[in-house]
Structures are given as C-alpha cells and as structure tokens.
C-alpha cells in the first residue's frame, strides 16, 4: 500500500540563495540556510515540507542543484532528530518521462512523495480526460506516491475538476491533491465526496485563508506560505479547526486566529515569493535580501514591509 501523507500544515518552502558573487551570472543555492530553516520548521510543529514546488522556484534550478538541495535538507533533518520527516518534492514539468526523472531523483534524495503539477503548457486545450491519462501514466510508473497539484495561476488557467479528482483518487499510487486556487466549492466537493476514500486520498489547500473552512469539511490541511514565517500560529489554527468534537472556546479562538491569518496572507498574495523570503529574513532571521534568481531576484519595495507591521504583529506567535 502506498504511503499516505499525514494531515496537517506543510510549508511550501522558498529556495534560499546566497548573495550573487562578483562576476557570477546568477546566485548560488544556499543549502545550509535551506536546511536551517527546515529544522526550524520541524522544531516549531510544522507537520511536513514541500521543497522545490512553485514557491521553491524549482524551474530556476538545475537537476544537480535540485538533488543537492533535497539531499542536504534530508540529511540535516535526520541529524537534528527528525528521521522520516515528511517531505513532498515538487515536480513542475509537462513531459511524462521528465516528470518520472524528477520523482526518481526525489526518491533517491530521501523524499516520500512527489507533488506533481498539472501539465498546463497548453492551458484550457488540455481536456479533463487528457489529464486523467497523463496522471495515470505518471502514477503507474512513479517510484513514489504522488499528489495532484493544481495551480491555475502558473498553468495557463488549467483547472482540475472534482470529477477528475474522483477518478484519479481511485489509483493506488495517487494519494492526495493540493488545490492552489480560491474555489472553495471544489475543495469541499473533493474532501467530502462519497466516492473517495479519504483515508487514502488527502486534500490540501494552498491557501491559509481557507484553512478553517476546508478542514471543518474534512480536508487534510494546508500547504501554506505564511507558515514558513509563523509556524506555531498556523499549526494552532489547524489544531483548533480539526478538533472533534469542537467546543465553544475552540471555535472562538479559531475565529480570532483565522481572521489574523487571513489578513496576513494578503501580504503573501501581494508580494509572493519575494515577500515570503523577506518576511523569513525579518521575522526568523534567516536568508538575506539580495538573493534570488531573475526574474524573481531582489526584494519587495522599500517601505512595503513597514505597511504590514500591525498585521504581522497581530499574527506573531506568543
């Protein structure tokens, strides 16, 4: 039986880069800082990591860099006392054979799952039946269990429908999905579908704004950027939202936290990868404001962070 990812809060980690060296054409990957941040998250209650997904800019790294980063993080987690810590590795390519190569590399580096982006180069021209065929072929051959990753924002608007999830959830090597879009109805339909075995197919949102509502209706959790900065806050919201039975005090606390998390998530939505990296630097003290690779190199505009001080203070952990 395929390994099923545990429920909870996962961090879609940004990839850390060193300051660009004089004369170099691009910044080097900073595996040491990547590993330090990963251990920080594990120590602060995060249930697992997503490395080299969209936030991780996997498309900007070479194969050798991806392998070094995944292997370095796994070794650091093991050395810090977190053996078998859950790691999903992003797979962001359209060709089946290349997707399988990425998954094999991830397995060799110690990851347990592949988070496989829907092949959206052709956008809406890709039919739902075509998606079923593509994912089935990958899952049949994959050396790791895989999750379906639907992010219309980077796949030319391609959206996986609930009916397609229902069919793909029957595959023994497809163990879940991540939906990075605002269609809560799709989240709820898939997480409550009577034809899906929810013990073997886990539904995650890419947005912490949706955490409380979707976990209430049987979703497994979130893969959320804000948790890279404030892990304990987002984990606490997950714990309250998944409590069964839930008492009035838990509901009251969850409402307060969900409001604060949702407000802070607007910063992530506005500034994306650059904002996440800068917030980690300012709040956690890791990374720098010089790293990154074009076209995402640099930092957010001067003064932009200060505009969010009140919101970030409200969501900060005690």
Supply the residues annotated as catalytic: 149, 178
d(CA 120, CA 317): 38
Torsion angle of the four alpha carbons 119, 70, 286, 315, in this order, in degrees rounded to the nearest 10: 50
| Sign, CA torsion 307/285/294/264 | negative
Q: How many helices (H) and strands (E) does the chain have?
A: 11, 8
d(CA 205, CA 215): 9
Question: With contact defined as beta carbons under 8 Å apart, do 11 and 41 qualify?
Answer: yes
Of the candidates 177, 85, 194, 98, the residue with the CA atom closest to the CA atom of residue 142: 98
Gyration radius (Cα) of the chain, Å: 19
Question: With contact defined as beta carbons under 8 Å apart, do 48 and 6 qualify?
Answer: yes
């Amino acid at each position: 039986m395929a390994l099923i990812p545990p429920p909870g809060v996962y961090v879609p980690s940004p990839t850390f880069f060193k300051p660009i060296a004089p004369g170099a054409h691009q910044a080097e990957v900073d595996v040491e800082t990547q590993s330090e941040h990963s251990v920080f998250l594990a120590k602060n209650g995060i249930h697992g990591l997503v490395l080299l997904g969209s936030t991780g800019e996997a498309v900007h790294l070479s194969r050798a860099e991806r392998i070094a980063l995944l292997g370095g993080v796994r070794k650091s987690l093991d050395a810090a006392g977190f053996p078998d810590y859950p790691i999903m590795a992003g797979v962001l390519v359209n060709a089946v054979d290349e997707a399988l190569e990425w998954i094999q590399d991830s397995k060799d580096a110690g990851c347990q799952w592949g988070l496989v982006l829907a092949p959206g180069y052709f956008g809406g021209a890709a039919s739902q039946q075509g998606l079923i065929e593509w994912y089935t072929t990958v899952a049949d051959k994959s050396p790791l269990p895989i999750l379906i990753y639907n992010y219309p924002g980077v796949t030319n608007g391609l959206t996986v429908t609930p009916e397609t999830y229902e069919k793909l959830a029957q595959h023994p090597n497809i163990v879940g999905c991540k939906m990075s879009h605002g269609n809560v109805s799709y989240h709820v339909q898939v997480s409550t579908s009577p034809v899906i075995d929810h013990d073997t197919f886990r539904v995650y949102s890419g947005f912490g704004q949706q955490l409380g509502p979707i976990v209430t209706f049987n979703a497994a959790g979130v893969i959320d950027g804000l948790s890279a900065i404030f892990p304990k806050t987002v984990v606490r919201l997950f714990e309250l939202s998944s409590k069964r039975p839930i008492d009035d005090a838990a509901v009251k606390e969850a409402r307060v936290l969900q409001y604060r998390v949702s407000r802070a998530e607007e910063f992530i939505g506005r500034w994306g990868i650059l904002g996440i990296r800068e917030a980690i630097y300012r709040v956690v003290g890791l990374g720098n404001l010089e790293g990154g690779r074009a076209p995402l190199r640099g930092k957010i505009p001067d003064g932009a962070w200060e505009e969010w001080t009140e919101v970030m203070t409200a969501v900060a952990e005690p």
